[in-house]
Structure 1
Amino acid sequence: MPEQLWLPGLEAPSAPTDGLFFAVYPDANTAAGIAKFAQQLCVEARARSGVRGKPLAANRLHVTLRHLGNFAGGLPADVVEAAKRAAAAVSMAPFTVEFDAVASFAKRPRLGPAVLVGEHGVHGLQALHDALEAGLRDDGIEPDARFTPHMTLAYGMQWIERHTAAAACWNVREFALMHSLLGRTRHIVLARWPLVGPS
């Protein structure tokens, strides 16, 4: 077999090891109820089609407000600091979030995530995302308008038609900057900020 030659500057990029994102988390009781619902969704999917979905554990359930990137070899300090400045500038009162439907982020015929979504009950999440986005933009972080408020319930699920579900509702009183150890199903809280602004 011929030896693989590498040209200077064209080395294969390193695989990402660390992710950075803003998130909100449900309270423990709400998370437990959502996790139970996710497990039931997987049981029903398996009975219907034989697909073995992977439900998220209660402590992993969250809403990603803004993904800031995946990086190889650790998190860049300048991006972390820019994120912290943007978060510190947010002025919002606590709000209630409500997800009232289940949808699929899969594309037929591929398997993908099943998620909770909502309509009127997710306006607070959108406002918080927009406030963070404005702060990040002021700090030179590229804008990302692709935000659909949702909570992932399970992975490896077949495509499903969006349908109503028992509402998952909680009060959002803080948000967090999270460090994801990619491939190791572990999230580390880097900082939290309470919502204490004017309503």
Structure 2
Amino acid sequence: MSEQLSLPGFESVTSNFIRPTNVLRRVWPRHNVFFALLPSAEAGVEIARVAAQLSQSLGIGGKAVSVDRLHISLRGVGGYLDVPPPEVVRTARFIGDAVAASADAFDIVFDHAMSFRNAAAFVLCVGEGLEEVKALRFRLGLAIANAGGPNKANAFSPHMTLSYRGKVAQTHAIAPLRWTASTLALIDSHVGESHYEVMGSWSLRR
């Protein structure tokens, strides 16, 4: 059944959101679909350069995330054993259209690095721009929920993962690393393949 997606400041979008019912319990999905902020190519290169320096100086090691996979995760859409259903992709793209049309680009500053022990991940953490990231995430969550999708109120610490399975590092202050968040993307992560498929991309307003 179609639902009317009508959010403050957005144009109404009619959509039919299919929940990820083809994922079995205790089975790891092969496709993980989510919204994220992507750095520009120039910013990505600079972030990768800083990541390499930090890895060397702190002895992090591990498997580095390639430049083309650097991102800040915002909201999950669903996990799937097979290719994401076209209905889900279509509705997620409607949501991306609606949210990006009324969202401004903003600056993000990474000011410290640390390890997430649970995920064995070494990350850069957001300082300046934190509230803007949270606000964009909230708007995406509201749009997804209004379309019938998942919107769990999980704890959220905006970050960009630099590497996995390296040495655990304590919180480490870094020279401020500033970049402009101007690209919202819908990504299909091919789990276990180190491959991200960009299924939609939107420029935030400048």
TM (norm. structure 1) is: 0.80
Displacement after TM superposition at 1:13 (Å)? 6.9
1:105-116 mapped onto 2 (5 Å cutoff):
105-107=116-118, 112-116=120-124
Partner in structure 2 of residue 44 of structure 1:
57
Separation of aligned partners in 2, 1:79 and 1:145: 21
Please list every run of at least 4 consecutive aligned residues from structure 1 whose deviation after the TM superposition is greater than 6 angstroms: none
SS in 2 for 1:140: coil
Separation of aligned partners in 1, 2:152 and 2:183: 22
Partner in structure 1 of residue 107 of structure 2:
96
> Is 1:162 aligned with 2:171?
yes
Q: Note if contact 1:100-1:166 (Cα within 8 Å) is conserved in structure 2.
A: yes
Alignment RMSD (CA, Å):
2.2
Separation of aligned partners in 2, 1:195 and 1:73: 31
CA 123–15 in structure 1, closer or farther in 2 if over 3 Å, else same = closer
User: How many positions carry a matched residue from both structures?
Assistant: 180
The one-letter code sitting in structure 1 at the alignment partner of 2:32 is G
1:132 to 140, 149, 157: 140
Moved more, 142-151 or 93-102: 142-151
1:23-102 mapped onto 2 (5 Å cutoff):
23-46=36-59, 52-90=61-99, 91-102=102-113
Q: Note if contact 1:45-1:157 (Cα within 8 Å) is conserved in structure 2.
A: no
Identity of aligned residues (%): 31
5+ residue gaps, structure 1: 1-10
SS in 1 for 2:29: coil
SS in 2 for 1:89: helix
Displacement after TM superposition at 1:121 (Å)? 2.6
Separation of aligned partners in 1, 2:58 and 2:128: 28
Partner in structure 1 of residue 9 of structure 2:
none
Partner in structure 2 of residue 118 of structure 1:
126
Displacement after TM superposition at 1:142 (Å)? 2.1
SS in 2 for 1:157: coil
Partner in structure 2 of residue 8 of structure 1:
none
The one-letter code sitting in structure 2 at the alignment partner of 1:53 is G
Displacement after TM superposition at 1:154 (Å)? 0.9
SS in 1 for 2:82: coil
Q: Note if contact 1:103-1:163 (Cα within 8 Å) is conserved in structure 2.
A: yes
Separation of aligned partners in 1, 2:130 and 2:25: 41
- Give the greater-gyration-radius structure (CA): 1
Q: Note if contact 1:177-1:190 (Cα within 8 Å) is conserved in structure 2.
A: yes
Partner in structure 2 of residue 145 of structure 1:
153
Q: Note if contact 1:38-1:56 (Cα within 8 Å) is conserved in structure 2.
A: no
The one-letter code sitting in structure 2 at the alignment partner of 1:67 is G
Displacement after TM superposition at 1:19 (Å)? 1.4
Separation of aligned partners in 1, 2:30 and 2:121: 22
Displacement after TM superposition at 1:45 (Å)? 4.2
Separation of aligned partners in 2, 1:141 and 1:113: 28
Displacement after TM superposition at 1:86 (Å)? 2.1
